[in-house]
Amino acid sequence: RLKPFNRLQVILQHLKMSKHTDLTAEVLLEKRGGAGIITLNRPKALNALNLSMIRQIYPQIKAWEQDPETFLIIIKGTGGKAFCAGGDIRAITDAGKAGDRLAQDFFREEYILNNAIGTCKKPYVALIDGITMGGGVGLSVHGHFRVATEKTLFAMPETAIGLFPDVGGGYFLPRLSGKIGYYLALTGFRLKGRDVLKAGIATHFVESEKIPALEKDLIALKSPSTENIADLLNSYHVKSKIDQEKEFILDEHMEKINSLFSANSMEEIVKKLKQDGSPFAIKQLETINKMSPTSLKMTLRQLREGASMSLQDVLTMEYRLSQACMRGHDFYEGVRAVLIDKDQSPRWMPAALEEVSDEFVDDCFKPLGNNDLKL
């Protein structure tokens, strides 16, 4: 007979082998009704995306895309706090410092996944209930439907850690109305709840408590078309009353955002903010002064160029930028200050916008030859 401990080991081994009962799996992939369902399952890490998750999700999306019995793909997070709070920045930092391949592979495979979502032939529904930042935005924003709730917290906070709003940020941000995308990208401003819809990032707004019912109804649809799915989402959307009367948080500032953030250079944006002198402008100035000057310049150019590029060209450009960040100083310093030591006092190099030369920025955008991202 097996000793009790061994018996437990056998049971655990068995659990590990059967995918659906594996509660430790970082991502759950299952087929229910006509829907393929991706569940990000790292609640303690706010469902942050790591390389092994990317390597499971990508082939599954590709398989479902080919499967005549799969009519839509749903992606969601567990734990009630986050859809996905970003990429696994710590692992990338360690890899980058050690010159490990992960610093190349992570961005490469993440962007290939972002592109698969952006070109997916099956309707793709992201239930962005909770924190949705960075890498989580990349898993949702390029799909057909993004359903926000009152718990959604959206941000692209990368300039604060010496990075830039990647995962296709250069594609969707400049396409938001006015200069909202530039504002969000440079300041890392956080949008909550219905404002995520009003900014044009989400396509629908549904109360958090109604999400399980919505998911059930999506799964129950019989060979639905994109229109059928849109109709169902709309029927939930119109019944959602939370914050319906509230005006968009940026409404009162839109005129200023559109004029101040339309400048051609970071120095000019800063100059305009100083000249404006309003409480709003001063607040933005304070925020921008905390960010990596290199990241700010990189980001402004990324969005200005991305505005007229295809998603594929944007991701290729962003891959070049990601590798420039891996070679540089500010990313490691930003992660140290914000995530590791948490002293919130990064020492950027160079420390001022004027010291970040155009030549240096140009260099970040240069092709990588054989190492370029191929989509």
DSSP 85: -
Q: Is 138 a catalytic residue?
A: no
CA 31/CA 12 separation, integer angstroms: 24
Angle, in degrees to the nearest 10, between helices 293-306 and 266-276: 100
Q: Which listed residue (88, 110, 158, 215) is catalytic?
A: 158
Q: Which listed residue (118, 134, 135, 328) is catalytic?
A: 135
CA 74/CA 293 separation, integer angstroms: 38
CA 347/CA 329 separation, integer angstroms: 10
Question: E strands of the chain, at which residues?
Answer: 27-32, 35-40, 72-77, 82-84, 124-128, 131-133, 145-148, 153-155, 191-192, 204-205
Q: Is 87 a catalytic residue?
A: yes
Q: Which listed residue (88, 110, 129, 166) is catalytic?
A: 166
Query: Distances from the Cα of 229 to the Cαs of 173, 202, 220, 232, 244, in angstroms?
Result: 25, 15, 11, 5, 23
CA 65/CA 123 separation, integer angstroms: 9
CA 220/CA 288 separation, integer angstroms: 47
Q: Which listed residue (36, 77, 87, 334) is catalytic?
A: 87
Which residues are identified as catalytic?
A: 87, 135, 158, 166
